[in-house]
Amino acid sequence: MVKIIAKNISKYFKKRNGYVIALDDVSLTVESGARFGILGPSGAGKTTFMRIIAGLEVPTKGELYFDDKLVASNNKIIVPPEDRKIGMVFQTWALYPNLTAFDNIAFPLTNMKLSKEEIRKRVEEIAKILDIGHVLDHYPRELSGGQQQRVALARALVKNPSLLLLDEPFSNLDARMRDSARALVKDVQEKLGVTLIIVSHDPADIFSIADNVGVLVKGKLVQVGRPEDVYNNPVTIEVANLIGEINELEGKVTKEGVIVGNLKFPLDKSYKSERVIVGIRPEDVKFTKDLINDENWILVGKGVVKVIGYQGGMFRITVTPLEGSEDEEIVTYMDHPLKRKEEVLIYVKKGSVKIFET
């Protein structure tokens, strides 16, 4: 198992006029045997970062270490990808279409000068763990999405890599299969103890697999921490949005609090700028018709129900402030529906309001 250290890695791509900065001075350490997630919107450079770790791309600047060994630095690949002991699952899975599942999984082993029996033993072993033993003589096109993904995972794991890279491995799966696939990846990682890096734009992947997460925005690593900490204390509204659903309201700072239309949010400290963005997670909001006598919930004002939706067994209620700013919306999930155009009281959980200076 290997420890990954990235030091000041930058990557520029040449374009017709000048450069595009894909990664900007990224420094990061992933401990040996850890599960690390890289979260970011599309185009943030997360796949580029993973490809640099894999050795498929060279960093324009900076150094990359595997344990104490320098593998790439300043536009030079020192250890080529095939010698880095990496198993990678691509977003498209990249199975060899002309080979059966067995031969796909065996492919890395055939490059290692092993005996036929040894190869068969190892392929069958990993196939058993991933529950694809019965489809080994099928071609990729004959397999379901979930089976293809497990074949790709088996191919990545069969060579006993020290590092497992997953590039959006679940985005091509049916939504209902994703959770079991995530659980499977985590179980296998725990069993083998391999260092794991997963790249995704879906926070669900990060929460279910990673112990630590780094958030990439426009090529910059803006926040690193445990997923819960990043969720609760995001450094910017962008990060807050990436790691989960959040209500964004534009407000004005006054002595009594942040004013959004007729709503007034409590202030925890003073802010320099006058215009700020108020962020509240849907689970930190409550709409009621009656007053709540609980000091954990703070009344911020009155609103009117705008849209009622239904999602995942809950009613998704959108409320706008009663007066002032009708473009602002607050969303939460409730177990019962409200009527449209109904007036409600808006409560927020104490200490949950996040204020971002613009």
Partner 1 sequence: MKKSAIILVIPTMAFTIILLYLVIWNAVVSFMNWSLLNPKPYFVGLQTYLSVMKQFQFVNSLVHSLELSATLVVVGNVLGILFASLLYFLSSNKVRSVFLSIIIYPLAISMAVDALIWLWLYNIDIGIDWVLVKIGLPKFPWLSSTSTMFPSLILVTIWAYSGLATLFYLAGFMNIDKTIIEAAKLDGAGSFKILRKILLPNSLNSFIISTALLFLFSFRIFSLPYILSGGPTNIFLQTLVVYMYYLFTVEFFSQATAVATIVTLIASIVILPYALVIIRRWIRR
**Contact positions vs partner 1 (CB under 8 A):** 54-56, 81-82, 86-88, 90-92, 94-99, 107-108, 111-112, 155, 159
CA gap 305, 329 in Å, rounded = 10
Instruction: State both tokens at 337.
Output: 């529906």
Closer residue to partner 1, CB minimum distance, 168 or 284? 168
Nearer Cβ to partner 1 (37/140): 140
CB of 56 or CB of 184, closer to partner 1: 56
Pairwise CA distance, residues 35 & 218, whole Å: 23
CB of 51 to partner 1, least distance (A): 8
Q: Which is nearer to partner 1, 65 or 139 (CB)?
A: 139
- Nearer CB in complex with partner 1: 156/206: 156
Query: Least distance to partner 1 from the beta carbon of 99, Å?
Result: 8
Contacts 24+ apart (CB under 8 A), 338-344: 338/287, 338/305, 338/308, 339/305, 340/305, 340/306, 340/307, 340/308, 341/304, 341/305, 342/289, 342/304, 342/305, 343/302, 343/303, 343/304, 344/287, 344/288, 344/289, 344/302, 344/303, 344/304, 344/305, 344/319
d(CA 324, CA 195) in angstroms, rounded, equals: 52
**Nearest distance from C-beta of residue 135 to partner 1, angstroms:** 19
CB 299 within 8 A of CB 345: yes
Minimum Å gap between C-beta 107 and partner 1 is 5
- Given a contact cutoff of 8 angstroms between Cβ atoms, the answer to whether 197 and 164 are in contact is yes
Shortest distance (Å) from residue 64 CB to partner 1: 16
Neighbouring C-beta atoms of residue 34, cutoff 10 Å:
17
We find the least distance from the C-beta atom of residue 161 to partner 1, in angstroms, to be: 9
Q: For 170, phi and psi rounded to 5 degrees?
A: -105, -5
The residue (of 91 and 262) whose beta carbon lies closer to partner 1 is: 91
